[in-house]
Amino acid sequence: MKIGILFFLAFINFTVNASEIDIVNKVLLYKKIQFIQNSVNEMTGITSESSGFIERDGEIISINIQKPFDEKYIINETQIKIIDNDFDQESTIEISTLPNKDLIKLIKSGFEEKDVLKISKTSYQLKDSQKPILIRDIADNSFSLIYLDNLDVLNTIIFMVKV
């Protein structure tokens, strides 16, 4: 009998985990989502905030920064086109040359259950990431992503679907 109860409890825990990751993917992969990003550089004490939205059109993803600068990042399979509207400049970066490609991969395709580890009741960590990436504060239409960038600046991004 105890084995049956343990199996049942393990099954319930697994289904809850899967549904939380499903919620995260539903938000992240939605056709148009908003975000707010806070960055904290502990070395300099500088904190900054940016906001905008992400749009999906087939395999093309556009990240539109509205504040504090007017920028756009267009992501395709292999490249990111950077458009700085404030300075009327454009450049292109190959995704393969980026030091932390994990974040781009997540934005493109979301999370898979096998790639995350539950580290607390409300937090997950991406396994095998070059730098830690945490998923927190999961709700029906939003979640937070916390990570260190290539300059070791702490970033928190809140993704949300406005309904």
pLDDT one-digit tens code per residue, 25-64 = 999 999 999 999 999 998 898 999 999 999 999 999 999 9
The burial class, CB within 10 Å (0-12 / 13-18 / 19+), for 156 is: middle
d(CA 80, CA 83): 10
pLDDT one-digit tens code per residue, 104-154 = 989 999 999 899 999 988 899 999 888 889 999 999 999 999 999 888 899
CATH number at residue 46: 2.50.20.10
Q: Which helix (H) or strand (E) covers residue 128, if one does? A: none
Helix and strand tally (H, E) in the chain? 2, 11
Banded pLDDT at 9 (limits 50, 70, 90) = very low
Mean pLDDT of the chain: 87
pLDDT at position 12 is 38
pLDDT at position 19 is 80
Q: What is the pTM of this model?
A: 0.83
Answer yes or no: is pLDDT of 5 > 60: no
Banded pLDDT at 8 (limits 50, 70, 90) = very low
Number of structural domains found in the chain:
1
The residue segments making up the domain with residue 156 are: 2-160
pLDDT at position 100 is 75
